[in-house]
Structure 1
Amino acid sequence: MSMLITTPRDIGAAIKERRKQLGLGQAELAARAGVSRQWLIQVEGGKPGVALGLVLRLLNVLGMRLALDGPDQLASDSDEILDLPDPSAILNRLRKEGSQ
């Protein structure tokens, strides 16, 4: 199985599809991967911001690999732009607030 992953929703769909192919329930897969069922539900639902290390562990349990290609696919081709906070801006703001 090969598919282009451009959004959290894409990776969630791939995980859910593979889980079902293997005949695993969410609770069983979560136990095998050492994550909570609620967390797995969020991943399968495409929630952005989940921990990458746990996603990679989950993929390993499912016998899947994550491969990256070159710059052929531009980020602007994605139908979803993630609006994530800038960690540096947050740290700078907290430092300024702490020094006052």
Structure 2
Amino acid sequence: MIVRTPADLGAAIRDRRKQLKLDQSTFAKQIGVSRQWVIEIERGHPRAELGLVLRALNALNIRLDAAVDQTDRSLSSAIDIDAIVNKAKKSRP
């Protein structure tokens, strides 16, 4: 699943918690937060503390992958400074 919004992340957390047959209270106790925090993160609360989010993901065995999307068009037009320098060196008399 590609997570692009807080709501996407909340849905992933909720789905995995349910797969593990954990209710919100039990999960909250497991990671040291309130049940209300679990409710908010599962609803996509955009201001959740990152440390707590990472703790929740770890408890659910959800891997966070910070891979770079190689299909990003803006990167394909990047300037290769090494190629420019090498070309300039070769053209000198």
Letter in 2 for 1:27: S
Q: Number of paired residues?
A: 72
Q: Higher Cα Rg: structure 1 or 2? A: 2
Letter in 2 for 1:55: V
How much does 1:73 deviate?
7.0
Structure 1, unaligned runs of 5 or more: 75-100
SS at structure 2 position matched to 1:16:
helix
How much does 1:18 deviate?
0.2
Question: Could you say which structure has the higher helix fraction?
Answer: 2
Letter in 2 for 1:49: R
Deviation sequence 1:31-80 (CA, Å, 0-9, x none): 00001100110000001010011000001111111111214476xxxxxx
SS at structure 2 position matched to 1:59:
helix
**TM-score, normalised by the number of residues in structure 1:** 0.68
The equivalent residue for 2:24 is 26
Taking structure 1 as reference, are residues 72 and 8 closer, same or farther at Cα in structure 2, changes over 3 Å only? farther
**TM-score, normalised by the number of residues in structure 2:** 0.73
Percent identity reads 51
Please tell me whether residue 38 in structure 1 is matched to residue 12 in structure 2: no
Give me the CA root mean square deviation: 1.3
Query: What pairs with 1:1-100 in structure 2 (closer than 5 Å)?
Result: 3-72=1-70
SS at structure 1 position matched to 2:3:
coil
Structure 2, unaligned runs of 5 or more: 73-93
Which runs of 4 or more aligned residues in structure 1 lie more than 3 Å from their structure 2 counterparts after TM superposition? 71-74
